[in-house]
Chains A and B, each alone.
Chain A
Amino acid sequence: MSVKSQSIDRKSEDERLRRVSKLKVILNRPELGALGGSILVFIFFGIIAGDTGMFSAYGTINFLEVSANLGIIAIAAAMLMIGGEFDLSVGSMIGFAGICIAIPAIYWGWPLWSAILFAFAIAVLVGYANGLLVVRTGLPSFIVTLAMLFILRGATLALTRLITGRTQVPGLRVLIDNDPIAWIFSADTFTGFFTWLGSLGLIELRTDGTPLATGLPASVLWWIGMTIFATWILMKTRYGNWIFASGGDKLGARNLGVPVGRVKISLFIGTAVAATIYACVQVLDAGSADTMRGFLKELEAIVAAVVGGCLLTGGYGSAIGAAFGALIFGTVSMGIYYTDVDTDWFKVFLGMMMLIAVIFNNFIRRRVTENK
């Protein structure tokens, strides 16, 4: 009898502990800051710009698209940052990938799909080169990828001018129709749904009766899909554990048999490939490539990852957080046009947001590692 009651006691005690720790788990999640930040940003613009059309279907798709584009590279940057490295060449890679698509397609007469695959192959090579250099030389990735930033941007400009005599390569739009893979990056999705909403009068219409917002851009689906995929990798696979371990303690992980070099190289390939996805979306959307595309995007991706809870020192962070970091970025960058605030202030806000995020994350980290 007494034994039985003891076991019940123990069980109830266990349950109590589990409940407390669950709350703690939520409080200690790296994406908490970005999630809270997103909610604050939406409340802010809901009050300031709620009646300006920012949150109409058209306005929503506008800021979602900006968020999605950044999110695609921010998620890859976050995974690399968790793995303990940076990639400053992301922005230049966007420009480089853009001309790798446009020049073969326009000047060499390649089918568009083969030019897209060519750009991805180049991206894998660039990522591999970045990773190999960092792993083999032991130099900080900051320096190696900073060099790559200049090399790629310079090569983009030099090659484009050499081959085309200009800095812009227009004329892609006509190639998109009937291409077997271009739609993956450029299609509007759920167009039927949007037309239906329009016919019900729930979203704004053009004068010809078609909805102003024709559909959800493919980039938004890439953004969501990549967030899910990256989160699955980080949380549910052994490779995910290796990413955390490589960033948290490189030597220790290596001593325990984690292939740290391979993990890091694959993450660098990931950021370069993500930059190329970004480039595909942008080039196919605009119908042209420009040598200055992606300028400073590497820093925006890092801001989104850091706001999303990634530690600059590696070993901690989340893809969901980075996706929300990008959402904050996109919402504010578009939302500011709907307010009376001069858009010149956007970068001030950006810097302050990053500072607050870093301080907040530092606090979270201390909670995770020190409270007993």
Chain B
Amino acid sequence: MNAETIVEFNQISKFFGSVIALQDVTMHIKSGEIMCLLGDNGAGKSTLIKTLSGVHKPDKGEIIVEGKKTIFDSPRDALDLGIATVYQDLALVSLMSVTRNFFMGREPIKGIGPFKTFDIEKANRVAADRMGQIGIDIRDPTQAVGNMSGGERQCLAISRAIYFGAKVLILDEPTSALGVHQASVVLKYIVKAATQGLGVILITHNVHHAYPIGNRFTILNRGKSMGTYAKKELSREKLLGMMAGGEELDKLEVELKEIDRVGNNNN
């Protein structure tokens, strides 16, 4: 697998009034690798994603896509360069069919002139085929997305981004709302996407989901990057410790033991 860098973010800063949301964050993403972006709530993950995907413009720093310095004016610009973002809300309409969601905004067309129609048959075929490839058997692509499980929906959103030419996939907390089994289905699919040559930026606060599949880890804390580490430089425990939550969790454990002890004494 070639390991060319697809996107670089150099010294990105973003301010909202007097609030420094991001300060000098630098990272890059190569094709075929999974880069995990970890951080507690308020660490600046959301702001960073929105900056990477063209929703916000950075106040300082530069974004380099395939060697060229780029400014995103809108999410559309990022999308056109192959940087696709799957947000937590997934941009799926639960009352609409799998097919209609899959092709939302990019419907295949047939016919000419004013009689151009949405090529539903082709769309149904592609949607069913694509979902089949990830091992999700949707019996009927015209069924509503509301019938699917959370993991299947996540996979649908990712599969859609890949189908429409994503080179870099930004995934915002793809496993946060899922149970253990569903999460593992999604994580497996993410690995599969990466082995096919996509660069994946996985945003999460769950170290246990990030560590098994990540190649490199960038830790954000209060708007600043605490560095990027390859997997071999970092143990799971050390990674946990580096997130703002690490210390907190240690403290919590002590406190829980205390409650437990008191509770036992009372019994």
A residues with a Cβ closer than 8 A to B are 17-18, 21, 24-25, 28, 236-238, 240-242, 244-245, 248-249, 251-253, 255-258, 311, 315-316, 365, 368-372
**Alpha-carbon distance between A28 and B96 when the two chains are bound, in angstroms:** 12
**Alpha-carbon distance between A21 and B140 when the two chains are bound, in angstroms:** 8
**Alpha-carbon distance between A240 and B104 when the two chains are bound, in angstroms:** 10
The contact of A370 among B90, B107, B116, B146, by CB within 8 Å, is B146
The residue on A at minimum CB distance from B123 is A241
| Cβ-defined contact, B143 with A240, below 8 A | no
Q: Which secondary structure dominates chain B's binding surface?
A: loop
| Cβ-defined contact, A258 with B104, below 8 A | yes
| Cβ-defined contact, B93 with A245, below 8 A | yes
Contact partners of A370 in chain B: CB under 8 A? 146-147
| Cβ-defined contact, A238 with B139, below 8 A | no
B181 CB within 8 Å of chain A? no
Known: A245-B104, A251-B91, A252-B89. 14 other contacts (CB 8 A): A17-B139, A17-B140, A18-B139, A24-B143, A28-B144, A245-B96, A252-B90, A252-B91, A253-B93, A257-B76, A257-B106, A368-B95, A369-B147, A372-B149
| Cβ-defined contact, A369 with B94, below 8 A | yes
B118 CB within 8 Å of chain A? yes
Contact partners of A311 in chain B: CB under 8 A? 95
**Alpha-carbon distance between A211 and B59 when the two chains are bound, in angstroms:** 78
B178 CB within 8 Å of chain A? no
B117 CB within 8 Å of chain A? yes
B201 CB within 8 Å of chain A? no
| Cβ-defined contact, B100 with A257, below 8 A | no
The residue on B at minimum CB distance from A365 is B95
Given contacts A17-B139, A241-B100, contact A252 B117 (CB under 8 A): no
Nearest CB on B from A60, distance (A): 34
The residue on A at minimum CB distance from B90 is A252
**Alpha-carbon distance between A1 and B139 when the two chains are bound, in angstroms:** 26
**Alpha-carbon distance between A244 and B109 when the two chains are bound, in angstroms:** 17
Given contacts A18-B140, A236-B118, A257-B106, contact A249 B91 (CB under 8 A): yes
**Alpha-carbon distance between A241 and B104 when the two chains are bound, in angstroms:** 7
| Cβ-defined contact, B143 with A253, below 8 A | no
B103 CB within 8 Å of chain A? yes
Contact partners of A372 in chain B: CB under 8 A? 147, 149
Given contacts A21-B139, A369-B144, contact A248 B93 (CB under 8 A): yes
Residue contacts A-B, CB under 8 angstroms, 16 given: A24-B143, A237-B116, A237-B117, A244-B100, A245-B93, A245-B105, A248-B93, A255-B75, A255-B85, A255-B91, A256-B104, A368-B144, A369-B94, A370-B146, A372-B147, A372-B149
Contact partners of A24 in chain B: CB under 8 A? 143
B79 CB within 8 Å of chain A? yes
Closest 8 CB pairs of A and B: A369-B146, A252-B91, A248-B93, A238-B107, A256-B105, A257-B105, A258-B105, A316-B95
Given contacts A241-B103, A369-B147, contact A252 B139 (CB under 8 A): no
B residues with a Cβ closer than 8 A to A are 75-76, 79, 85, 87, 89-96, 100, 103-107, 109, 116-118, 120, 139-140, 142-144, 146-147, 149
The residue on B at minimum CB distance from A82 is B95
The contact of B96 among A17, A238, A244, by CB within 8 Å, is A244
**Alpha-carbon distance between A245 and B100 when the two chains are bound, in angstroms:** 9
Contact partners of A315 in chain B: CB under 8 A? 93, 95-96
Contact partners of B109 in chain A: CB under 8 A? 238
Contact partners of A237 in chain B: CB under 8 A? 116-118
Contact partners of A248 in chain B: CB under 8 A? 93-96
Nearest CB on A from B153, distance (A): 12
The residue on A at minimum CB distance from B75 is A255
| Cβ-defined contact, A236 with B117, below 8 A | yes
Nearest CB on A from B175, distance (A): 19
| Cβ-defined contact, B118 with A241, below 8 A | yes
| Cβ-defined contact, A256 with B116, below 8 A | no
**Alpha-carbon distance between A72 and B165 when the two chains are bound, in angstroms:** 42
| Cβ-defined contact, A252 with B142, below 8 A | no
**Alpha-carbon distance between A315 and B120 when the two chains are bound, in angstroms:** 18
| Cβ-defined contact, A236 with B120, below 8 A | yes
Contact partners of B142 in chain A: CB under 8 A? 25
Contact partners of B144 in chain A: CB under 8 A? 28, 368-369
Nearest CB on A from B49, distance (A): 12
| Cβ-defined contact, A256 with B147, below 8 A | no
Nearest CB on A from B141, distance (A): 11
The contact of A369 among B87, B95, B103, by CB within 8 Å, is B95
| Cβ-defined contact, B146 with A252, below 8 A | no
**Alpha-carbon distance between A194 and B254 when the two chains are bound, in angstroms:** 90
**Alpha-carbon distance between A229 and B91 when the two chains are bound, in angstroms:** 28
**Alpha-carbon distance between A244 and B107 when the two chains are bound, in angstroms:** 13
